[in-house]
Structures are given as structure tokens and as C-alpha cells.
Structure 1
Amino acid sequence: MKRAVIASLLVVGLSMPAFAATKWFVVVDTVKNCSVVEGGTSAGLTRLGNKDGYDSPDAAGEALRGIRDDAAQCAGVVE
């Protein structure tokens, strides 16, 4: 029993950083369409808002709602 508890704690402890590593970003593409993406950015995408990313998709979505009407940053929004 003791071994099972220790093994369970190790599995949970080692898997937690994987869940914490997921970030969401508000990005703009080359034609000024803004969106929220998970993970990171790729070629042609520029981060907006918090450059370090957001901890939840809801937080990133809230940031996107705050800039979606700024025509200088976003011509449109892709959801």
C-alpha cells in the first residue's frame, strides 16, 4: 500500500509541470487578423498583450476582447 501511494504521488508530481507549461497567446497574423493560440507562435504571427502568454484561454480571450476594436492592431478576429 505504501508503495502505491508513493508511486501515485510521483506520477502526479512529475506530471504537474506539463500542465503548467501550457500557455495561450494573443497573436496577430500578416494581414492583421487577431486570435488566441495555444502553445506558442510560429512564423508570420506576432504576440500582442502579455508577451509571456496567459495561463488560461479565458484570460487570453479577455485580452483579445480588450484589443479587438483597435483597428491599428486588429483588422479582424479569428475565433
Structure 2
Amino acid sequence: MSDMTLLQLLRGMDMAVTVHGFRSSFRDWAADRTSYPREVAEAALAHTVENKVEAAYRRTDYFEKRRAMMADWAAYCRP
């Protein structure tokens, strides 16, 4: 999803906000306001594991945990 996709969505909602920092805001929210593991939040942002050994053993995509986290994020973002 591009930043323009989010910008168009926000414009359609007639909100006086921008997408700048949206990913950072999500990461801060996940760390400060939830108990989701760091790995789940990083996976939601499509960040890769830099440590090659850890990456070799991590075979999950945390899909169900990410689904729950994104539902919580959506609820948090609703005006």
C-alpha cells in the first residue's frame, strides 16, 4: 500500500490529518499502549529480521496475532 493510498483515504474521510508518521505512530502505539510482542508489531510493518540465525528459525508470519493487533489499532484510530 502506498502513502498515496492512505492520503486519498484520509481525504475521503474529510479529516485534517496527514499520513506522515503514520507507521511511526502505529509502532509507538503498539509499544506504549498494548502488550503485543515487539516481533508482531515489526511483522505488521513488514520489517525483516536482520539477524540471519534468528531469521532462519522464525517461520511464522504471526498472522492471527497481527489480525487482532490491527483490529485494536483500527478501534484506537476511529474518531
TM-score of the alignment, normalized to the shorter chain, above 0.5: no
TM-score in terms of structure 1 length: 0.27
TM-score in terms of structure 2 length: 0.27
Q: Which has the higher strand share?
A: 1
